[in-house]
């Protein structure tokens, strides 16, 4: 399906036209995503596609590039490549982010990245840290509750300095835990040391987002990639704490818990688009999880 995007831009009542288009597009996007599932690496069997290719199919290639915020495009593409348990899990987790992206091009990338970065710290990092703490001996996990509290208590409107202070502490302490970590006795946990180290890597990724935004060291697309990396690394860190070697080998680095983490990261991105006025975001109430 090809849209006459130029006509929309030149129209006298852009908002009204966008809403008329969205009334038609949202069901098509949802049905295309959930009907065939979503796949990594672009294409899957039975004409299944990645999220990006699905949106291109519905909107048209040129329209997709012109209508969707580039940072949201990068973020969703990287989350799509995360380790999900199945195409249907990937579709359920990303469908709302796909809808929220529609007509999101004018959204301020810096404001969106800040919202996403803070959301990741407040929600995603604590999920990973709690999972890591479950397989460590109490003395090794003793520092993690305080780190979880720091993350969950992050001010939603934190300045770059406030953000950096918390993230420096989370990165440093997670690395220290990984160095001295030992699993519970009699629990054949494989990857127990990688869990805390993975959380340090995830925290480090999201820390660079604020540095990149504030100092313009990184462009917005790279910051979006780092936001997604924080979520996908957290998901892998959780799976690295599988309860047994057999569970580890069968998991393919994914589990129901890692699906939940990736889905929550996608929701953070979708809600941030909604809050910043993305027209597609105003239709999230029509999309159930």
- Please say if the pLDDT value at position 182 is more than 70: no
- Residue-range definition of the domain harbouring residue 209: 109-276
In a domain, 287, yes or no: no
Do 150 and 19 belong together in one domain? no
Mean pLDDT across 81-87: 91
80 and 131 in a common domain: no
What confidence tier does 190 reach under pLDDT thresholds 50, 70, 90? very low
Residue 64 belongs to a domain: yes
pLDDT at 36: 85
State yes or no: pLDDT of 61 exceeds 60.
Answer: yes
Let me know whether 123 and 226 are in one domain: yes
What is the Cα–Cα distance from 282 to 271, expressed in whole angstroms? 10
With b for 16 or more beta-carbon neighbours within 10 A and e for fewer, the 239-266 pattern comes to bbbbeeeeebeebebbbeebbebbbbbb
Same domain for 135 and 236: yes
Half-sphere exposure of 245 (CA within 13 A, CB side): 2
Q: Are residues 11 and 135 in the same domain?
A: no
At residue 246, φ and ψ (nearest 5 deg) are: -65, -45
Confidence of residue 109 (pLDDT cuts 50, 70, 90): very high
Helix (H, G, I), strand (E, B) or coil at 164: helix
Write the DSSP assignment of 3-55 as a string of letters. --HHHHHHSS-HHHHHHHHHHHHHHHHHHHHHHH-B-SSSB-STT-B-HHHHH
* Claim to verify: residue 126 and residue 73 sit in the same structural domain: no
**pLDDT tens-digit map of 110-162:** 999 999 999 999 999 999 888 888 777 777 778 889 999 999 999 988 888 88
Q: Could you give the number of structural domains in the chain?
A: 2
Estimate to the nearest angstrom the gap between the alpha carbon of 216 and the chain centroid.
22
Q: Which residue has the higher pLDDT, 50 or 61?
A: 50
Reduced to 3 states, what is the DSSP secondary structure of residue 183?
strand
């Amino acid at each position: 399906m090809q849209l006459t995007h130029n006509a929309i831009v030149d129209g006298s009542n852009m908002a009204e036209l966008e809403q008329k288009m969205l009334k038609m597009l949202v069901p098509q996007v949802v049905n295309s995503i959930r009907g065939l599932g979503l796949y990594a690496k672009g294409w899957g069997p039975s004409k299944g596609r990645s999220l990006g290719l699905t949106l291109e199919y519905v909107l048209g290639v040129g329209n997709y590039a012109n209508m969707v915020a580039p940072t949201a495009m990068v973020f969703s593409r990287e989350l799509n490549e995360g380790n999900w348990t199945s195409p249907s899990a990937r579709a359920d987790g990303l469908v709302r982010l796909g809808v929220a992206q529609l007509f999101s091009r004018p959204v301020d990338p810096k404001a969106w990245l800040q919202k996403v970065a803070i959301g990741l710290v407040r929600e995603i990092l604590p999920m990973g840290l709690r999972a890591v703490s479950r397989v460590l001996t109490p003395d090794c996990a003793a520092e993690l509750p305080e780190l979880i509290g720091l993350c969950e208590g992050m001010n939603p409107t934190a300045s770059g300095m406030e953000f950096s202070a918390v993230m420096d502490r989370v990165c440093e302490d997670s690395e220290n835990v990984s160095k001295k970590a030992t699993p519970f006795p009699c629990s054949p946990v494989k990857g127990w040391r990688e869990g805390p180290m993975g959380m340090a890597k995830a925290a480090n990724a999201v820390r660079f987002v604020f540095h990149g935004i504030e100092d313009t060291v990184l462009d917005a697309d790279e910051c979006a990639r780092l936001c997604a990396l924080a979520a996908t690394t957290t998901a892998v860190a959780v799976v690295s704490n599988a309860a047994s070697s057999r569970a580890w080998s069968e998991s393919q680095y994914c589990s129901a818990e890692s699906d939940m983490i990736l889905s929550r990261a996608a929701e953070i991105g979708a809600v941030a688009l909604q809050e910043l006025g993305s027209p597609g975001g105003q239709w999230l109430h029509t999309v159930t999880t």
